[in-house]
Structure 1
Amino acid sequence: MSKQRRVLKGAPLAALCLASVALNACGGRDGVVAAPGAVSLPQLSAAGGGKLANCSDLASKISYPNTAIASAVSVEAGVLTVAGKPVQAHCLVKGSMHQRVSPVDKQSYAIGFEMRLPVDWNGRFFYQANGGLDGAVLTARGEVGGGGQLDTALGQGFAVISSDAGHGAATPLFGLDPQARLDYGYQASGKLAPMAKSVIQTAYGRGPDRSYFGGCSNGGRHTMVAAARYGEQFDGYLVGNPGFRLPLAAIANIAGGQAYASLATTPGDLSTGFTAAERTLVSKAVLGKCDALDGASDGMVQDTGACQAAFSLERDVPTCGASGRDGSCLSTAQKGAIGRLFSGALTGAGTKFYSSFPYDAGLDTGNWAFWKFFSPLQLDSGAVAMIWKVPPVDPATFNGAAFALSSNIDTLLAQVAATDATYTESAMSFMLPPHPADYSTIKNRGAKMMLYHGTSDPIFSSDDTAAWYDSLRAANGGDASGFARFFRVPGMNHCSGGPAADQFDMLTPLVNWVEKGQAPAKVVASVRGAGNAGGANADVPASWSATRTRPLCPYPQVAQYNGSGNVEDAASFSCK
């Protein structure tokens, strides 16, 4: 899933894509530091800079197995910009790996990529894990986190790679090929990273001192999988709103689509099952119960956990009477169905198969509506049917909306866990970390992981990431903060947006943690009001300061108002 989305118009396959973005990491070690609980972890040394000697003849010098270099051209400073600032001069290398013709669907495949190598290099490599269905080589910039970014990894001097993850179109048709499924799941990054480091060696006369991997949405999933499968390749992992159990999240969203369809007043329009006015009603009710729990009535719910205990959909939202639904109440049927969805999707036997979603303030946005009402019919359906299900459906007769609304949820769950003679690895294997709570490789070599997740994410639940982090803590004696820290972003939707302070740079504190041993006690985030250099966020309430800041706190801490000071200023809040 991702902030980027492509739609194929005028066919049953319409809009069969998902959406998001990502990054990457590697290096040596220089001594030992004491982590929480007196556990000694290696301290990695800092990267040193370098200079790109030449771009014009680089294509002829690069040699790596199963790799074809198409071009290497110089890009002048300012051709790319970020937040109005010019990006420095660099060399753009384009190529592909493992070109082949599928024996199953007879289509041509390759892992397409581009690398951007700055003239003034900081000695670091960044793997940009793109989101959604991949299928396109996006500009290799390297996102640093959140929305309206003011800088990029490339802008900071990293060498950056971006890829299409092994298929050349952002539709689920590639799922007919078993190898393309595996490349999309995890193998493309495992093939690309050593090649990219070899290109860097050729370009600069030495390999990267430190390597980083990151992305949001499916890019966050890519990052979590890479940390688990390729922990020796990277030194820092930046994980945003991860769909790390993506097949289950997609099926849960299909179950949600079926529920909203049952509530809809206009057949085929899921949004009429939970209208914008009704979602605003619930968001305001959540704020009424939860806004002040952090000590400040500021339109933000910082203490997400306490809010779930304080708010009741049944009690705190009016129930419609004889006059029916008019935006000022929810019907009894709505309360039952919507309450069950927020509690977590269930199998036919009543067993929860995906996480709960927290009640939060960002339910009435366009981002929330897109993922809940459009995605089940046009995005999740195609991914489940063609990329993860065994066997996949026949594309010639596939209709996404019909598939989503008529499929049995238990059947879908069985199919994404299935294998056969052609598809020998299930989606629940190739899409997920092999051992979700085992990140011992990165821990023991001194690598670090930072995660963030918006609490109003409508497609991948921040509760799911919190549950994963709880399992990681349990697997590490109750404390994983020496190598992994998780930051919830109050009010933020999927990777950005929502009534939130969603503008932040998590790459810089990750580098400082990896290379200097400076563990992040908080990350300061800003709202994007009118005039913001990275672009305004339309979901920011007019009553907020256009430059409001808040600390993002390492879970399970939350930001609490100090009792005095400007409520628009992060300095007036502490992580407790």
Structure 2
Amino acid sequence: MKHCLLFLTILSCFGTCNFANANDNERCQALVNLEFDDAKIIKTELIVDRFTPPSNLADSLRNADTKEISHLPQICRVELMIQPKINVEIWLPTQWNHRLQAIGGGGYAGFIPFDELAVAVKKGYATVGTDTGHSGNLFEGHFVFNNNQLQADTIADFAYRSVHEMTIKTKQIIQAYYGEPADYSYWNGCSTGGRQGLMEAQRFPADYDGIYIVAPAIQWDKFIPSELWPQIVMQMELGHPIDTHKLIMLRKAIIQLADEQDGIKDGIINDPTALDISDNFLKQQNFNDAEIIALRKIWQGPTNHVGEFLWFGVEKTAPQEALAGNEPFPIPVDYLKYWIAQNPNLDWKNMDYQSFVDYFNESVDLFRPIMGTDNPDLSQFKKSGGKMIIWHGWDDRLIPPKGTIHYYNHVVKLMGGQDHTDEFIKLYMAPGVDHCNGGDGADQINGFESLVNWVEKQQPPKTLTAKKIENGNLTLQRPLCAYPQKTVYKGEGNTNNPANFECQ
């Protein structure tokens, strides 16, 4: 960053004036004078109480351009553009807690997560988010394809560059605005946001003191093509999708069958990997032989022509209709068209098992180096003092939770065992919880607060507390034990009291 008018003003004030007491609006407006080699502050404004996101930066999925955000503290709002076209939104509260909290994206990104910025800034954090270099719906992957070819720079921006550059420049802006750096910097992201956070730990380990990861979209090169596997299976085995209502009713029957295996009748399966569903049971649910074959292939996950494992499937307790419904999930369809085949007219319905395997292998060859985010060597992140908490819902309908366990186990092995890994990273599995949140399980988890406490007070969490809040009422509360331990009910006492559970 070049010397600028604002920074010179700050320096000249030392010993002669009190910059912190300057007019808040003037301080905010002065940020436009900051200069960067490859970025520019487009706009700054002081916001009090209410804010309506501009349509050009709004979340195209949730129509945030028409959704007013209210009850905001006073903030200095900064629009930053990083070359070539990475939009960054930075919110700087006047009453600052001396911390930075960066917010991750979802899907293919393409939007600013204004609602989540609001949550962070209301708690006193300086906060930031990016669209990763393109504007669009988070389900649409065509942004990497232009003039009939892949845009390598656009992919790099989406994969890692946008977040790292956003982080560097946000820290510079914080220094200029407050006259001091943040005491601590945190990452907070689910799905793509989880992948972004892990990419930071792997490539830029000094960017954040604490990284909070939920249902991470890591191993992108494998799990994204695998999301199309259920559709390929049903097409090859049945010629049509399984009836969605039958899938919904089957899930209910499976949960009812196994509900009390953990000692509690609550509609939640503590460990879905232990389920053994017989063919007779499936027939009782009105599935014919061909449908049973299809179901087992879907649950198992993709394999090659000789039955060798390629990747994991979602668990039997997860809602199957997201990937095995009447229409395929759009993210892997666009991935096949634009990222792999580079043919917008490609129809996935023309694929068979062998062409799927070819598609899967090509994905790994092309994108594992830049998008895999599966490097287990977190030694530099640990050396820098970083701490990380990961959790994943067992009933995730989109990203197989076993993939997260697979990555974590590799980290444990490379980092020298469980004890060495526990010093800086912990994984938790959340029974009954869907993708990022939702589902039947307790999905409000105090993981971020636990991470802050770990970073700042050197107090590693033994368990997390997971709650289910419905209509303002606490309906479910459980402790989550750090993997590979499991949360086990002691057999007596209120099942909403965490004290009545133990880690085994």
- TM-score interval for Structure 1 and Structure 2 normalised by the shorter chain: 0.7 to 0.9
Between the aligned partners of 1:344 and 1:258, the Cα distance in structure 2 is 11
Look up the match of 1:566.
494
1:62 aligns with 2:34: yes
Q: Which residue of 2 aligns with 1:556?
A: 484
CA distance 1:160–1:358, change in 2 (3 Å): same
Distance, in Å, in 1 between the alignment partners of 2:351 and 2:329 is 6
Partners of 1:140 and 1:95 in 2: CA distance? 18
Q: Kindly tell me: are residues 122 and 407 of structure 1, through their superposed partners in 2, closer, same or farther at Cα, counting changes over 3 Å? A: farther
Answering whether residue 322 of structure 2 is matched by residue 370 of structure 1, we say yes
Contact 2:79 2:88 survives alignment (8 Å): yes
Alpha-carbon distance between aligned partners in 1 of 2:208 and 2:22, rounded to the nearest angstrom: 22
If the length of structure 1 is used for normalisation, what is the TM-score? 0.74
Contact preservation (8 Å) 1:127, 1:160: yes
Q: Which one of 152, 167, 172 corresponds to residue 141 of structure 2? A: 172
Residue 394 of structure 1, aligned match among 343, 352, 359: 343
Distance 1:243 1:403, change over 3 A: farther
Distance 1:417 1:356, change over 3 A: closer
Match of residue 384 from structure 1: 336
1:310 and 1:373, CA in 2 relative to 1: closer, same or farther beyond 3 A?
A: closer
1:297 aligned onto 2:265: yes
1:51–1:337 CA distance, 2 compared to 1 (3 A):
farther
The answer as to whether partners of 1:242 and 1:465 remain within 8 angstroms in 2 is: yes
Return closer, same or farther for 1:201/1:372 CA change in 2, 3 Å cut-off: farther
| Structure 2: unaligned runs, 5 residues or longer | 1-19, 53-66, 146-150
CA shift at 1:415, angstroms? 2.5
Q: Which residue number in structure 2 is paired with residue 547 of structure 1?
A: 475
Shift of 1:402: 4.0
Which residue does 2:16 correspond to in 1? none
RMSD, aligned CA? 2.7
- Superposed counterparts of 1:50-449, under 5 Å: 54-55=24-25, 56-77=28-49, 79=51, 86-99=71-84, 110-139=85-114, 141-142=116-117, 152-170=119-137, 171-176=140-145, 177-262=151-236, 267=240, 270=241, 273-289=242-258, 291-302=259-270, 304=271, 307-314=272-279, 317-319=281-283, 328-360=285-317, 362-363=318-319, 368-373=320-325, 376=328, 378-387=330-339, 389=340, 392-395=341-344, 398-399=345-346, 402=349, 408-418=355-365, 426-433=366-373, 436-449=375-388
Name the amino acid aligned to 1:511: V
User: Does 2:443 correspond to 1:477?
Assistant: no
1:219-260 deviation per Cα after TM superposition (whole angstroms, max 9, x unaligned): 111111111111111111111111101231121121211123
Q: Give the CA deviation at 1:60.
A: 2.5
Measure the CA separation in 2 of the matches of 1:52 and 1:287.
Answer: 63
Matched length: 460
Q: 1:133 to 1:274 in 2, by over 3 A?
A: same
Q: Distance in 2 between matches of 1:313 and 1:154?
A: 51
Aligned counterparts of 1:66 and 1:252: Cα–Cα separation in 2: 37
What one-letter code is carried by the residue in structure 2 that aligns with 1:182? A
Provide Cα deviations, 1:311-346, integer angstroms capped at 9, x if missing partner.
Answer: 22435x2426xxxxxxx3322222222112222211
Contact 1:548/1:569 (<8 A) preserved: no
| Partner Cα distance (2:274, 2:322) in 1 | 28
- Counterpart residue number, 2:392: 453
What is the CA deviation profile of residues 502-532 of structure 1, one whole-angstrom value per residue up to 9, with x for unaligned ones? 1223211100001111111111111132345
Cα distance change on mapping 1:193 and 1:407 into 2, 3 Å: farther
Secondary structure in 2 matching 1:560: strand
Task: Return the letter of the residue paired with 1:467.
Answer: H
| Deviation by residue 1:264-284 (Cα, 9 ceiling, x = unmatched) | 68x5xx3xx153334323443
Residue 522 (str. 1) matches residue 479 (str. 2): no
Task: Give CA deviations for 1:195-217 in whole Å, capped at 9, x if unaligned.
Answer: 11111111111121211112111
Is the CA contact 2:107–2:331 (under 8 Å) kept in the aligned structure 1? no
- The secondary structure found in structure 1 opposite 2:399 is coil
Structure 1 residue 403: Cα displacement: 6.3
Give the drift of 1:500.
1.1
Whether the 8 Å contact between 1:491 and 1:499 is mirrored in structure 2 is: yes
* Whole-Å separation in 2 of the counterparts to 1:296 and 1:126: 38
Superposed CA deviations along residues 158-209 of structure 1, whole A, max 9, x for unmatched, are 1111111011223322212110011111111122111111111111111212
Closer/same/farther in 2, CA of residues 556 and 209 from structure 1, 3 Å limit: same
* Distance of 2:429 and 2:381 partners within structure 1: 22
Ranges in structure 1 where 5+ consecutive residues have no aligned partner: 1-49, 100-109, 143-150, 321-327, 419-425, 533-545
Structure 2 residue identity aligned to 1:300 = I
Distance 2:471 2:235 in 1: 37
1:562–1:332 CA distance, 2 compared to 1 (3 A): same
CA contact (8 A) 1:257 1:405 kept: no
Contact 1:64 1:198 in 2 (8 A): no
CA contact (8 A) 1:372 1:458 kept: no
2:407 matched residue in structure 1: 468
| Contact 1:294 1:559 (C-alpha < 8 Å) held by counterparts | no
Query: How far off its partner does 1:347 sit?
Result: 1.8
Say which SS state the counterpart of residue 89 (structure 1) adopts.
strand
The structural deviation recorded for 1:77 is 3.2
Is the CA contact (8 Å cut-off) linking 2:444 and 2:469 kept in structure 1? yes
Q: Would the aligned equivalents of 1:343 and 1:356 in 2 still touch at CA under 8 Å?
A: yes
**Is the contact between residue 72 and residue 91 of structure 1 (CA under 8 Å) also seen in structure 2?**
yes
CA distance in 2 between partners of 1:461 and 1:484 (Å): 20
Name the CA distance, whole Å, in 2 between partners of 1:241 and 1:258. Answer: 24
Kindly state the Cα deviation for residue 373 of structure 1 after the two structures are TM-superposed: 2.6
- For the 8 Å contact 1:52–1:119, the answer to whether it is kept is no
Which has the higher mean CA deviation after the structures are superposed, 254-263 or 489-498? 254-263
The one-letter code matched in structure 1 to 2:30 is L
- Greater RCO, 1 or 2 (C-alpha within 8 Å, sep 6+): 1
Identity within the alignment, %: 23
Residue 47 of structure 1 corresponds to none
Distance 1:517 1:460 in 2: 31
Asked if 1 retains the 8 angstrom alpha-carbon contact of 2:465 and 2:479, the reply is yes
